[in-house]
Amino acid sequence: VAPVAAAVALSRVYTGVHFPSDVVAGAALGAGAAFAVRSLVPTRAQHTPPARPRAEVPALPGGEGLVMVANVGSGTSDRVRALCDALPDAEVVECEPGDVRAELEKAAGHARALGVCGGDGTVNAAAEIALHHGLPLAVLPGGTLNHFAYDLGVEDVRDLCGALERGEGVRVDVGRFASGGRRGVFLNTFSLGVYPELVNERERWSSRIGGWPAGVLAAVRVLRADRHPLEAEVRGRR
């Protein structure tokens, strides 16, 4: 927007509406406000990822020994192509959402490192399988939010490839849950109550009416519904 702003400033002086000093003062106020807001609400790029304990992981030059399973439902094709270019020796498996867990299990049987490209739900499934097989997990963000990968400082293919080829890894916490007869693990975030209901309702409608309208409709339907108090137990405490 800088060229547009400069053109407006010059036009104000040219037409005699403002003095040059007025325009300079206005520009200084605008830039100062922008930097003030940026310091109060820093962008993710300004944050340094928190230090985490190092893990012993194998270096994989060219990606040899990495099997990357990509969920095509998360719109991962561009990142997968970039990964193949950067790591020509890696094995990449692209699959539909319903086949992700089976492909992860298959990959874990012969991989030195298990890779996953997809959203937070896909990464959770991969973490469970990597734990079971005792494998390091390489995460390439490919979903909507990607909180886990971003918190580790992995934002694109270049970040991940550098860590793989240098053998750089960290240890992270993994949570376990049981709910309604279902058991699993989670990384980073676990939601209870209204929010998961809202997400499920939104997914039902998003393919028909679009994401934002589906979110509004889901919020209305979920918040109007009658529900019982939610009971949860954390580390034995009810």
The predicted-structure confidence for 84-136, as pLDDT tens digits, reads as follows: 899 999 999 998 888 999 999 999 999 999 999 988 788 889 999 999 999 99
Mean pLDDT of 22-48: 85
Radius of gyration of the chain, Cα coordinates, nearest whole angstrom: 24
**Amino acid letter, 86:** A
With 80 as the cut, is the pLDDT of residue 186 above it? yes
The strand ranges marked E within the chain are 66-71, 91-95, 113-118, 137-141, 175-179, 182-186
Confidence of residue 231 (pLDDT cuts 50, 70, 90): confident
Residue pointed to by tokens 């734990």? 131
With 80 as the cut, is the pLDDT of residue 46 above it? no
pLDDT (0 to 100) of residue 207: 78
**Amino acid letter, 42:** P
pLDDT (0 to 100) of residue 62: 93
With 80 as the cut, is the pLDDT of residue 198 above it? yes
The residue that leads in pLDDT, 165 or 44, is 165
pLDDT (0 to 100) of residue 67: 95
pLDDT (0 to 100) of residue 122: 87
With 90 as the cut, is the pLDDT of residue 203 above it? no
CA distance linking residue 208 with residue 164, whole number of Å: 40
Q: What value does the mean pLDDT of the chain take?
A: 87
CA distance linking residue 108 with residue 133, whole number of Å: 7
Q: Which 3 state secondary structure label does DSSP give 9?
A: helix
CA distance linking residue 219 with residue 204, whole number of Å: 13
Confidence of residue 49 (pLDDT cuts 50, 70, 90): low
